[in-house]
Structure 1
């Protein structure tokens, strides 16, 4: 490590270029990771907040909630410690006085359902003309006790829950009666349509009924949110490809530098320096390049995340970034291995101009 650091300090420009490239590639990795995490969180956060055990959909829905059609009476066929009948609706909301619309995800369920988050301002909805909204909707210019319009219905915001999203949109919870009026235009008094039954605790279902039920885990439910899995796979594939790029770049640069130092290695070998020591020195240089590049890239990524617009989904997942940091350092060292053969094959006599 001593020799590696001394050489890096001596050839600052040469190694500075390698570190610079490492910083740029690592920066792209962390930014893509942040975007991937932001999109994933934006799609799933509200579902994660439920801490549910299982989600019941109609069997013919192909695990897609919007295609699931159940009735409130189907909840009688489900046994669990806690259960909630939920309707899901993606629409837009606007202030009663007018203005631009904001996309929202609506969950229609009873106000005492276990999936309804805790209120941080105001109170729970009690009447069918009341609703509670996630805190991030307030950033769009809405406020507590304000009247809003969804379709042709006028509702009053009586409570605020912590910031959350579903399908990249702020979340609204409201009474099942008004939910069915909003989505279907009618209310059948007692057996309205719903999209899913969410449960907590050991869950069993009875299949004796007109609609066949399917029990899935919340994670499976999330993976089948339209667009969730393709987005995640696309961005992760780009990140994995960048790991290969780092390996190739560091390998090429280290190989070229090693070739330029052939005569120096020859002199050192002639003076009795062990080949293993030189090999460790090259690996140490790759390690230092990786460490410095990753550290600077993490700092730049965190600073960038602070100035990104709120409309851009971005999330810093410390565990994932730590894993990617380790991988980047490892692939940088793998790139350094490309020079091992050159180092081990250096002949002291030939390298210093002997015959």
Structure 2
């Protein structure tokens, strides 16, 4: 470490520029990771944040809630097998709302629930609905100008509801969720007369063994993760972003390897002289790795500070979520990539011939 720090102090500009590039790469990796996580959360937060572990859906629905439709008889049969406390009906329908006297439309997702079940959202502002025309809305609806006691009109049916409470982290397909009771669900649910009163799915809060032991008949079972993957565009969106993150790590490895290899080549004569006076290859190798680790750690600290600082001033409409645990995981991976990129330099140092290097240095 002594040799590594002496060299960093001697060539300040060179290592400052390398460190700056590492900061920018780390910042980019962390920001794209937060964006990918934020988009995933914005697409299916209402599914991932509730207590349901499994869902019973219509067969051949491809795990998509918006394609499933269950009859009251089917939902009652599932409830008999599981128990009313561990199962609850769920209705999901995409919709559009406007203020009663305006034409400004906002895309939303209706979630029909039993307000006393485990699917009820946690209220962060306001009070629980008391009548069928009172609803709970995700707080992101505030971005469209709505607030507590605001009225919303369903564009399809013309029914008017009042927001009495807000909840957080409840979005579906990039739209804020509005939670309604079954009375209100029947008012907005768009079905034919014969299908009136049908549900989308049955949400279960049970173990894997109990869920798999159910007699489903013409229905099918899907885990919460599978339902998330079934949200339109979810898998494709995450696949693209994860591919970008993977390529960023690969690019970082090549860039860092190239930088440290070039610097090592420039110092090859010095390494030869050090070997000639008794320095071991392991000592020189530790010096290179120490430099890489030191620069990487400092760059990651600055990159994390920039990322969380930027996240603090981003608009609420920007879907960005980066937990400290995820940031630490990305930082550790980045550090591993940087050290792996320095292996080429270690190989070059190990192959240095002391006499040949001294001859070139004289």
Contact in 2 for aligned 1:108/1:176 (Cα 8 Å): yes
CA separation of 1:254/1:159 partners in 2, compared to 1, >3 Å: closer, same or farther? closer
Q: Give the C-alpha shift of residue 185 in structure 1.
A: 6.0
SS in 2 for 1:214: strand
Q: Post-superposition shift, 1:257?
A: 0.9
Corresponding position of 1:60: 60
Q: Which residue number in structure 1 is paired with residue 14 of structure 2?
A: 14
Equivalence for 2:240 = 234
Tell me which residue corresponds to 1:206. Answer: 215
**Which of 107, 110, 113 is matched with 1:103 structurally?**
107
1:264-290 C-alpha deviation (Å, 9 max, x unpaired): 112211211112111111111121222
What is the Cα-based RMSD across aligned positions, in Å? 2.1
Question: What is the SS of the residue equivalent to 1:160?
Answer: strand
Q: Which residue of 2 aligns with 1:28?
A: 28
2:202 alignment partner in structure 1: 197
Match of 2:71 in 1: 71
Instruction: Work out the CA distance in 2 between the residues paired with 1:291 and 1:60.
Output: 50
Aligned to 1:351: 357
> 1:290 is matched with which residue: 287, 296, 301?
296
Q: For residues 331 and 6 of structure 1, do their structure 2 counterparts lie closer, same or farther at Cα, with a shift above 3 Å needed?
A: same
Matches within 5 A, 1:134-149: 134-149=138-153
- 1:332-343 aligned within 5 A: 332-343=338-349
8 A Cα contact 2:268 2:352, kept in partner: yes
Q: Please state how far the C-alpha of 1:56 moved relative to its aligned partner.
A: 0.7
* Contact 1:181 1:187 (8 Å CA) reproduced: no
Partner in structure 2 of residue 175 of structure 1: 181
Q: Determine the C-alpha separation between the residues in 2 that align with 1:281 and 1:10.
A: 14
**1:299 aligns to 2:301 (yes or no):** no
Counterpart contact for 2:48–2:228, Cα < 8 Å: no
Superposition deviation, residue 57 in structure 1: 0.3
* 1:331 paired residue number: 337
The separation in 2 between residues aligned to 1:206 and 1:264, in whole angstroms, is 75
The unaligned stretches of length 5 or more in structure 1 are none
Matches within 5 A, 1:120-159: 120-151=124-155, 152-159=158-165
Deviation of 1:186 after TM superposition, in Å, equals 6.0
The TM-score with structure 1 as length reference comes to 0.92
The question of whether the paired residues in 1 share the 8 Å contact of 2:45 and 2:169 is answered with: no
- Between the aligned partners of 1:207 and 1:13, the Cα distance in structure 2 is 68
Shift of 1:260: 0.9
Deviation string 1:118-145 (CA, Å, 9 cap, x unpaired) is 3344443343322221223234321222
The DSSP-based 3-state class of the residue aligned with 1:70 is coil
Runs of at least 5 residues in structure 2 that lack an aligned partner in the other structure? none
CA contact (8 A) 2:69 2:198 kept: yes
Q: Offset at 1:99?
A: 4.8
Q: Which residue of 1 aligns with 2:49?
A: 49
- SS state at 1:194 partner: coil
1:113 aligns with 2:117: yes
Matched, 1:269 2:275: yes
User: Do 1:180 and 1:186's aligned partners in 2 also have CA atoms closer than 8 Å?
Assistant: no
CA distance in 1 between counterparts of 2:343 and 2:174 reads 44
